Amino acid sequence: MSNKLKWISEELNHLHAQGLYNNIRTIESPQGAWIVVDGKRVLNFCSNNYLGLANDARLRDAAKRAIDQYGAGPAAVRSIAGTLALHRELEARLAKFKGVEATIVFQSGFTSNLGAISALVGKDDVIFSDELNHASIIDGGRLSGAKIVRYAHNDAGALDDAIKKEGDREGRPYTRALIISDGVFSMDGDIAPLPALVDIAEKHDVMLMIDDAHGEGVLGRGGRGIVDHFKMHGRVDIEIGTMSKAFGVVGGYVAGKNEIVEWLNQRGRPFLFSSALTAADTAACLASVDILESSTELVDKLWENARYFKSEMKKLGFDTGKSETPITPIMLGDEMLARKFSARLFEENVFAMPITYPTVAKGKARLRVMISAAHARADLDRGIEMFAKVGKELGVVR
């Protein structure tokens, strides 16, 4: 091997030795409560398919019709020749669903964060970012060139102090400021203290942006998200949503006031320089909105399943951290233990991948169980039984 690449082999060997190497498994079936992984049928505790819509016939049919009408690919960026009537329809429907003036659709939640952050702040500005924010927020901040000030996780007092330290309205050393927080934190399942964040943003007259990727379809009335959950409509400047989780498809969007959305139409780099969301994906997302607007049944089932699973796991003695949502971390700490636990579960036909550094801090390894409305009570009982069996084998519970 060439010497210039030797370091890669050494780093990969180091990952293996520390239990940090990520063995990426292959899915061979549609997403659902049970899936085929590496040729084996397993109980799915891994995907973000909160409402079980990823293989819903209504979404599949909508996607097929869209392909027949618009073809397979958009063949252009949104700003030149890639904006379909379907995109405009989805943006209008999402704005109504979220209770905002307007939305703009991007290719993913990740690119929504990249596009929004880099368009709203620049090198003379400052971002106040929760220390556990998603990687897309971190990367969006870096891309913007703004100064990034991290504040202690979900600590509104620490945020207030950080803003004061950077300068108040009378003598601030920056042109613009932006507070950014996840709505639901994806690794721990806890919820941002949105009312306190809103009060601080209004007090200091700075913009507030919430990435609600894991709140869309989960929190609020019929899954309308964290802003609806806390009844903060009109007081959050920018909401980021994804359609790759509860919506069951792919894509992302930014929701807010007309002027913000119009600015992103002009300066959102993924909107300007990357091909548009496909017609099939867009039509499937519209079908998801239809389903969420028609009934709360799936959201209600999701929460019923989540409460049951957490309760039973806690009775067994497992540490589920500080989760307040269907995201259920099984805290193990040691990276090698997490990988061994996951491997044993897979032998028992339960698919729960280990989450280790750099996704979480070293010493905070866990298995993250993602509960879905697609799970039947028998599925949950099977998973609980296998967690108990493996947990006792490995000395995690008695």
Please give the chain's pLDDT, 398 residues, in tens: 568 999 999 999 999 888 888 889 999 999 999 999 999 999 999 999 999 999 999 999 999 999 999 999 999 999 999 999 999 999 999 999 999 999 999 999 999 999 999 999 999 899 999 999 999 999 999 999 999 999 999 999 999 999 998 875 556 667 899 999 999 999 999 999 999 999 999 999 999 999 999 999 999 999 999 999 999 999 999 999 999 999 999 999 999 999 999 999 999 999 999 999 999 999 999 999 999 999 999 999 999 999 999 999 999 999 999 999 999 999 999 999 999 999 999 999 999 999 998 889 999 999 999 999 999 999 999 999 999 999 999 999 99
Q: What is the pLDDT of residue 245?
A: 97
**Domain residue extents for the chain:** 20-50+296-393, 57-294
Q: Among the options 87, 98, 229, 245, which is catalytic?
A: 245
CATH class, range 57-294: alpha beta
Q: pLDDT at position 47, please?
A: 96
Identified catalytic residue from 87, 98, 204, 214: 214
In terms of Cβ atoms closer than 10 Å to its own Cβ (0-12, 13-18, 19+), residue 389 is: middle
pTM for the model stands at 0.93
One-letter amino acid for residue 386 of the chain: M
CATH number of 20-50+296-393, picked from 3.30.70.370, 3.90.1150.10, 3.80.10.10, 3.30.300.30: 3.90.1150.10
DSSP 102-136: EEEEES-HHHHHHHHHHHH--TT-EEEEETT--HH
Q: Is 204 annotated in the active site? A: no
Query: Please, how many CA atoms are within 13 Å of residue 8, restricted to the half-sphere of its CB?
Result: 5
For 377, other C-beta atoms within 10 Å of its C-beta total 11
Task: Establish how many alpha carbons lie within 13 A of residue 211's alpha carbon, considering only the half-sphere containing its beta carbon.
Answer: 29
Reported in sequence order, the residue ranges of 220-292 that DSSP labels E, i.e. its strands, are 238-242, 252-256
Q: What is residue 168's predicted lDDT score, i.e. its pLDDT?
A: 55
Torsion of CA 99, 104, 106, 108, to 10 degrees: -10
Find the catalytic residue in 186, 323, 342, 372: 186
Query: What's residue 18's pLDDT?
Result: 85
Q: How far is CA 381 from CA 109, 317, 386, in A?
A: 33, 16, 9
Q: Is residue 156 a contact partner of residue 193, using CB atoms and an 8 Å limit?
A: yes
Q: Give catalytic status of residue 29 as yes or no.
A: no
State in Å, rounded, how far the first CA of the chain is from the last one.
Answer: 49
**Active site (annotated) includes residue 301:** no
Which single residue is written with the structure tokens 């996840």?
182
Question: What's the confidence (pLDDT) of residue 1?
Answer: 53
* Strand (E) or helix (H) holding 65: helix 57-70
